[in-house]
Structure 1
């Protein structure tokens, strides 16, 4: 699994450049794992903030699909309201799909300590 952690949306619907860079990195990691013979799933992780019209994970998935990423390789974790919940809820998705899962978590450098 490749888990991409969300961040706020612009205008409640649009992926900002910071989040777009996380998604690009997630795509790159996914491609590298797939080239090794794996069949990774990319999890977009982020719930809906009070100023957002949709969950961050949905905007993230839509952005990836618009960039040509296959929709069937994306799972959406859309309940989280914090980084801790991003990871906890993504873990539940992965454990349900594959109890002995392995994952890579993608975020930005300033956010890595919190993650």
Structure 2
């Protein structure tokens, strides 16, 4: 699938294609369940095609212009629990997860 075939989801890529796990985490935490479900409904059928398209590149050599698309695919995976398991933007037992920080190593 060519990149222009993903033009229909350019709005999702702009909104959800955030470059860090923490940014995507906060985006999910601050989104309403309706927003998360709408994103998931539109992106989920395309994740396989996105991965197939990106697989033409080694992981560390995905061209910069396609990185937001790859981050959007990651966001789709990251919201899947909210949609299919928790049925909520955040686990019910959690504090405000938008305030959580993502560790970059075991030591920091």
TM-score by length of 1: 0.31
Specify which structure has the higher proportion of helix: 2
Q: Return the index of the structure with the highest Cα Rg.
A: 2
Specify which structure has the higher proportion of strand: 1
TM-score by length of 2: 0.33
Q: Which has the higher contact order (CA 8 A, sep 6+)?
A: 2
